[in-house]
Amino acid sequence: MADLDILIFPDDRLRRVATAVTDIDDKTRTLVSDMLDTMYAAPGIGLAATQVDVHERIVVIDVSEKGNEPLTLINPEIVVAEGRAQHEEGCLSIPGIYEQIERDEHIKFAAIDVDGNPYEMEAEGLLAVCIQHEIDHLDGKLFVDYLSTLKQRRIKKKMLKHEKE
């Protein structure tokens, strides 16, 4: 059980674009397991490899009430997106900050599971929001990027102050 270090905004490594996973091997499966342990311990409902300074397109999610339905998305990509809705979002890389963000309400995505099997799935509500949020991480984007410049500056200042303490 490994507890990985989560990068905190405004760390520049959070802006790196992740590369596609070309081979799912024991190293990949260990990373997925460690990411799940880290996400549950944080506690959170989603974690992108970028957040633990691994710049590969890997995401783990568990939006279940009991935290016992983990979902692994390797090389995820949204293939259909419909509707718009606002949801409150937070982020393990921006602790203590929650903001209303507008995203697609219903999505269909394609990914590969930890055993190397490709799959497609539809998602809505919290799961759809979480998937979009984590894919943004893989693309070097954070939920604060959807906010006004003034809010972004305030959050950055708060995170830098928190880091010094």
**How many angstroms separate the first and last alpha carbons of the chain?**
28
In a 3-state reduction of DSSP, which class is residue 48? Answer: strand
Per the rule left: phi > 0, alpha: psi between -120 and 50, beta: everything else, 154 is alpha
The residues assigned a catalytic role are 134
**DSSP H or E stretch at residue 47:** strand 46-48
DSSP string, 60-126: EE--STTS---EEEEEEEEEEEEEEEEEEEEETTEEEEEEEEEEEEEEEEEEE-TTS-EEEEEEEHH
Helices and strands per DSSP (H, E), number in the chain: 3, 5
DSSP bridge partners of 88: 100
